[in-house]
Amino acid sequence: MAVGQLTHLADTVTLSTNSSAAATIPNDGSVAVGDLLLAACVMPSGSRTFSISGGAGAWTSLGTAMQSGHMSQLWWRIAEAGDLGATITVTPNTGNIRQVLLLGRVRGALASNPIAAASNTSAAATTKTTPSLGSVGASSREIGVVWDSRGAATPQTAAWTAPAGHTRRAQAFTTSGSGACSAAWGDSDTTVSGTIGSRVWTADQSALGSAWTLAVAPGEQTVDTARIESTAVLYAPTLAPGTATVTPGRIEPTSTLYGPVLAPGAVTIGPARIDAATALPTPTLTPGPVTLAPATIAPTTVLYAPQLDGFDPDITLTIGAPAAAWAVATPASRWEVGPPS
For residues 237-246, one letter each, b for 16 or more C-beta atoms within 10 angstroms of the residue's C-beta and e for the rest, the string is eeeeeeeeee
**Cα 146 to Cα 125: distance, rounded to the nearest angstrom:** 12
The mean pLDDT value for 157-183 works out to: 96
CA triplet 42, 47, 49: central angle to 5 degrees? 55
58 vs 64: CA distance, rounded Å: 17
> Would the pTM count as exceeding 0.85?
no
194, 134 Cβ separation under 8 angstroms: yes
Q: What is the pLDDT of residues 13-32, one digit of tens each?
A: 999 999 999 999 999 999 99
Q: What percent of the chain has pLDDT over 90?
A: 61
Residue 257's SS3 state is helix
3-state DSSP call for residue 209?
strand
Q: Is the pLDDT of residue 1 over 80?
A: no
Number of Cα atoms under 13 Å in the Cβ half of residue 81: 0
